[in-house]
Structure 1
Amino acid sequence: MSYQFSELSALYKSTLLENVIPFWETNSLDWSHGGYFTCLDREGKVYDTDKFIWLQNRQLWTFSMLYNRLDKKESWLKIAHHGAKFLAEKGRDSEGNWYFSLNQAGEPLVQPYNIFSDCFAAMAFSQYALASGETSAQEIALQAYKNVLRRQKNPKGKYNKTFPGTRNLKSLAVPMILANLSLEMDWLLHSEQLEEILDNTVQEIMTDFIDPELGLMYENVTPDGSFMDCFEGRLINPGHGIEAMWFVMDIARRRQDTKLINQAVDIMLNILNFGWDTKYGGIYYFLDLKGHPPQQLEWDQKLWWVHLESLVALAMGYGLTQRAECWQWYQKVHDYTWQHFPDSDNGEWFGYLNRRGEVLLNLKGGKWKGCFHVPRGLYLCWQQFSDSATNK
């Protein structure tokens, strides 16, 4: 099927504003204890009240971002403030490290073992500071960002369960999130610091994690960027690789670096060709570089965020390069995504499908899925196609 940019723009806009955001506005606010419920069933009913810091901060980011970039709706700012107040009071330990999860009342459940809690706190409070003008929010954002910089070489610190020295590996997740996070923080950072961090993260992503022969992205490599032939070393995470490539494209667009844009597009297309399920359609969750059985038992599931990030990357890649292969892949991924993930009866999107594309879990939110990838993907694709329609 052939798509018009104006039609796509309208589809993404209406789905975001009339379907997805209302679902979270209606169902996720915890007016009793603060923060947000993310464990929502198909109809939006709460089935667990634990609060996961990643998702609390991601929802704070979403509503702050919409307020900043789309419409100064007081209801959106109120929802953002509701989350920011809870997180500022409950989200960190005495040393300023962000917990992984809390109970409904905000009492800690899981220690601050994960650097990504701090990453999403920095993202969220940066956007919220812009929306609210609160100096304290700026301070929280910068403190969390400094935590990320301090811990990037040893993300789990004392909570790292691997034995030191035997198999030292570094993860793509750290530089890729730092690249995106730093752009989110640009208004709070000195330009020299920002450019240095962007230089370093792009260099690391595009050098250490890329297989030079296959043009694929490893999930884990040795500290010097070498391949290690083991479960972790052979792991290909298509969604992460593709998401990393649109982060790189975003930086390259800012710098008007055409060579880097095309390099990122090349790798994105390589990953899609490697990660696409030719039998049932959709993008695999995990794959082994050499075709061995993956360690992750959920390897063949089809996940919402993988497909949304691919749509963002393909729309961006096509907008920047006009390369036909980007548009062909966009339409292919669009058809699969829109046929399988949206819930036409109850709103929002399913998150987890089996390999055949059947709904595996009919939740709308849980421990990992919240108010982030769907609205962010819809917003970014809407903006991309709106610009493309205007410039056509």
Structure 2
Amino acid sequence: MLIERLSARDFNALTELYRSTLLASVLPFWQKYSLDHEYGGYFTCLDQQGQVYDTDKFIWLQNRQVWTFAMLYNRLEQRSDWLAVARHGVDFLVQHGRDPAGNWYFSLDRQGRPLVQPYNIFSDCFAAMAFSQYAQASGDSRAKDIALQAYDNVLRRQDNPKGQYNKAYPGTRPMKSLAVPMILANLTLEMDWLLTSERLDAVLDQTVHSVMGEFLEPETGLVYEHIAPNGSPLDCFEGRLLNPGHGIEAMWFMMDIGQRRQDTALINRAIDTTLATLERGWDPEYGGIFYFLDRKGHPPQQLEWNQKLWWVHLETLVALLLAYRLTQREDCWQWYCTVHNYAWSRFNDPEHGEWFGYLNRQGDVLLSLKGGKWKGCFHVPRALYLGWQHCQAMA
């Protein structure tokens, strides 16, 4: 379904598009192909038809799939098959996912033996999200305890996310990463039912200050990916890096907090930042949003800088729908139509289900996989669910 940019807003049709793609295409794909019925957990390395091409299990993707099915059980419909899929992952993760100190590994082999050490906190972030949703769905008190322990891990390690596994030489060029406060903002909202109001507000205040007060450059309206500890910009590859997808995803997290707090100033500032990022990140020649850019226009360090990725476009669709729902700003609708027409015509695979993940700059499918080391059951179903809810509310 393509949209004429100036056409009537047919939110009933958009609601059905998001709903049917989620329920008839994406979720059945993962339910049919991803469950490892021999050793537990999920396969994420799936080709276009859903066949497994690698059996390693990446902890953050295992947790993301638990979260997806438990979240849909909690918020959409209490379907026993969805809860069973979530439980399938939980049982595997409880047995194999953590080291003796309670830190979550990065990856395991098929049987659950550790392959890669717990070298950053993102496995812990998604463990907290997953077990929080599963505890709500199942009433399992053990899952609640695991969620809180993982959340405490994230807070404890946020100033040094990689700990002993950090490759940087200490003291020469210290820097902070946007990834930590942005994900902590979303994670804390996910954990609200387990946190005291004082703790919830304190962490949300911290994340808003960090994202909007330190990483956001007021002059350009762009979000830096890395900054010095004192908040100043860095003139090096990492310091000049722009990741439009991260910036826009962070902004819908900020809108979410603004909506919760009825903070219209925060909402509008986040929307302005979203649109500024789109203006900078959109490929004027072939369409689509670049993966990486250098804020000074130099050649990016990442050779994949001009690829077009699934999650970048999906998070942008979520941000624009939320922005339009909250403000009815015409510029948000115009951009939504542009990104919608690009993404739905290229990433969606109606023949085999799910979405492709990686396009080249011209918009052709670069890798036909549906899942791998970085793509699992998360961004597509989450965006489809949120798109459905936003469009339904506007219909």
Q: Alignment partner for residue 170 of structure 1, among 164, 171, 176?
A: 176
CA deviation vs aligned residue, 1:304-350 (integer Å, no higher than 9, x gap): 00000000000000101111100000000000000100112211100
> In structure 2, what is the equivalent of residue 19 of structure 1?
25
Partner letter of residue 369 of structure 2?
A: L
> In structure 2, what is the equivalent of residue 346 of structure 1?
352
> In structure 2, what is the equivalent of residue 201 of structure 1?
207
Q: Is the 8 A contact 2:222 2:277 kept in 1?
A: yes
State the distance in 1 between where 2:203 and 2:325 align: 26
CA deviation vs aligned residue, 1:18-44 (integer Å, no higher than 9, x gap): 000000000000010000000000000
> In structure 2, what is the equivalent of residue 85 of structure 1?
91
State the distance in 1 between where 2:159 and 2:323 align: 30
Q: Alignment partner for residue 373 of structure 1, among 354, 364, 379?
A: 379
Deviation at 1:224, TM superposition (A): 1.2
Unmatched 5+ stretches in structure 1: none
Answer yes or no: is 1:143 the counterpart of 2:149: yes
**Which aligned pairs between 1:183-194 and structure 2 lie closer than 5 A?**
183-194=189-200
Answer yes or no: is 1:62 the counterpart of 2:68: yes
State the distance in 1 between where 2:365 and 2:341 align: 16
SS at match of 1:374: helix
Deviation at 1:361, TM superposition (A): 0.4
Partner letter of residue 264 of structure 1?
A: A
Answer yes or no: is 1:249 the counterpart of 2:251: no
State the distance in 1 between where 2:189 and 2:350 align: 35
Answer yes or no: is 1:43 the counterpart of 2:49: yes
Q: How many residues align?
A: 389
Answer yes or no: is 1:316 the counterpart of 2:322: yes
> In structure 2, what is the equivalent of residue 386 of structure 1?
392
Unmatched 5+ stretches in structure 2: none
CA deviation vs aligned residue, 1:284-322 (integer Å, no higher than 9, x gap): 000000100000000000000000000000000010111
TM-score after normalising by structure 2: 0.98
State the distance in 2 between where 1:137 and 1:122 align: 9
> In structure 2, what is the equivalent of residue 300 of structure 1?
306
CA deviation vs aligned residue, 1:332-379 (integer Å, no higher than 9, x gap): 000000010011221110000000000000000000000000000000
Deviation at 1:129, TM superposition (A): 0.3
Q: Alignment partner for residue 73 of structure 1, among 79, 89, 96?
A: 79
Partner letter of residue 349 of structure 2?
A: D
> In structure 2, what is the equivalent of residue 103 of structure 1?
109
State the distance in 2 between where 1:41 and 1:349 align: 11
State the distance in 2 between where 1:388 and 1:14 align: 18
> In structure 2, what is the equivalent of residue 113 of structure 1?
119
Partner letter of residue 171 of structure 2?
A: G
Answer yes or no: is 1:32 the counterpart of 2:38: yes
State the distance in 1 between where 2:320 and 2:147 align: 30
Deviation at 1:212, TM superposition (A): 1.7
> In structure 2, what is the equivalent of residue 270 of structure 1?
276
Deviation at 1:210, TM superposition (A): 1.1
Deviation at 1:123, TM superposition (A): 0.3
Between 340-349 and 166-175, report the one with greater CA deviation. 340-349
Q: Is the 8 A contact 2:244 2:290 kept in 1?
A: yes
State the distance in 1 between where 2:159 and 2:369 align: 35
Q: Is the 8 A contact 2:245 2:291 kept in 1?
A: yes
CA deviation vs aligned residue, 1:130-162 (integer Å, no higher than 9, x gap): 001000000000000000000000000000000
Q: Percent identity?
A: 69
Q: Is the 8 A contact 2:275 2:332 kept in 1?
A: yes
CA deviation vs aligned residue, 1:157-198 (integer Å, no higher than 9, x gap): 000000011101100000000000000000000010000100
CA deviation vs aligned residue, 1:100-137 (integer Å, no higher than 9, x gap): 00000000000000110000000000000000100000
User: Which 4+ residue blocks in structure 1 deviate beyond 6 angstroms?
Assistant: none
Q: Alignment partner for residue 232 of structure 2, among 226, 229, 249?
A: 226
SS at match of 1:109: strand
SS at match of 2:273: helix
State the distance in 2 between where 1:140 and 1:86 align: 14
SS at match of 1:87: helix
State the distance in 2 between where 1:230 and 1:211 align: 16
Between 299-308 and 343-352, report the one with greater CA deviation. 343-352
> In structure 1, what is the equivalent of residue 338 of structure 2?
332
